[in-house]
Amino acid sequence: MSEVRIAAEPRTEFGKGAARRVRRAGQVPAVLYGHGTEPRHLNLPGHELMLALKTPNVLIRIDGVGKDNLALPKSVQRDAIKGFVEHVDLLVVAKGEKVEVEIPVTVTGEVQTPGVLNQELVAVAVEAEATQIPESVEIDVEGLESGEHRTAGDLKLPAGTTLVTDAETTVLTVYTPQTEDEAAEEESAEGQPEAAAEGAEGEKAEAAE
């Protein structure tokens, strides 16, 4: 599990204006909370924080805030257009403590031709020790044929990690795409009942006249 050290400064000004000034200075407002402690308001260096957040569920060791300074990002707010980090909530964690997080599902291998892979779930919720959170979970699709699927219960999680997502949730399916001829035939078949219905309506109208 990755751990990154980041130096923090206490945040003493609040409100939208203060937050804008903090961001203009290249920092990000943050709140550190958990373990029964009072929330601590901090400013973190924006570039270092952005790099750290590229790793899912990264552990951040916050320097400059005394004890209880190992934290897990729980809520990250980003600018909707530019994508930069606007605010982050950090949850204090301790070694041996269990936390619930989402981890990415990565696919390895190739399905059998002409099957096409459709990944329906890109992350699953798990419970793991705070300092032993897996960065991702792999699922091997080598040789899967059209019509086969895999669920969350098929994922092989590391020891000490338990699945929270419903085990019956579909993670991926394999299907055979339609050919152009099959698609045309299907469209034609769908159109025929409509044409027949329109013809019947026309005949009724003529009879009424």
Give the predicted TM-score (pTM) of the model.
0.75
At 16 the three-state DSSP class reads helix
11 and 84 within one domain: yes
Q: What is the pLDDT of residue 188?
A: 67
- Pick the last residue of a domain from 44, 61, 94: 94
Of 94, 117, 136, the residue at which a domain comes to its end is 94
Given a contact cutoff of 8 angstroms between Cβ atoms, the answer to whether 14 and 41 are in contact is yes
Using the structure block, give the residue that is written with the tokens 């606007």.
86
Task: Let me know whether 104 and 133 are in one domain.
Answer: yes
Judge if 39 and 84 occupy the same domain: yes
DSSP assignment string, 43-91: EEEHHHHHHHTTSTT-EEEEETS-SS-EEEEEEEEE-TTT--EEEEEEE
Distances (CA, A) of 78 to 53, 71, 87, 89, 139: 12, 19, 7, 12, 30
Q: Is residue 135 part of a domain?
A: yes
Task: Show the domain range for 149.
Answer: 99-175
pLDDT of residue 109: 96
DSSP label at 159? T
Supply the pLDDT for residue 144.
Answer: 95
- Nearest Cα to 88, choosing from 29, 37, 47, 19? 29
Whether 18 maps to a domain, the answer reads yes
116 within some domain: yes
Nearest to residue 171, comparing CAs of 105, 125, 103?
A: 105
**Token output for 193:** 């009942």
> Measured in whole angstroms, how far is the alpha carbon of residue 1 from the centre of its chain?
18
Whether residue 90 is found in the same domain as residue 29: yes
Residuewise pLDDT in 10s, the chain (209 residues):
668 999 999 998 888 899 989 999 999 999 999 888 889 999 999 999 999 999 989 999 999 887 778 999 999 999 888 888 999 999 999 888 999 999 999 999 999 999 999 999 999 999 999 999 999 999 999 999 999 999 999 999 999 999 999 999 999 999 998 766 555 666 666 766 665 556 556 665 555 55
Task: Report pLDDT for 184.
Answer: 61
- The total of structural domains in the chain comes to 2
Give the pLDDT score at 46.
94
For residue 50, what is the domain's CATH number? 2.40.240.10
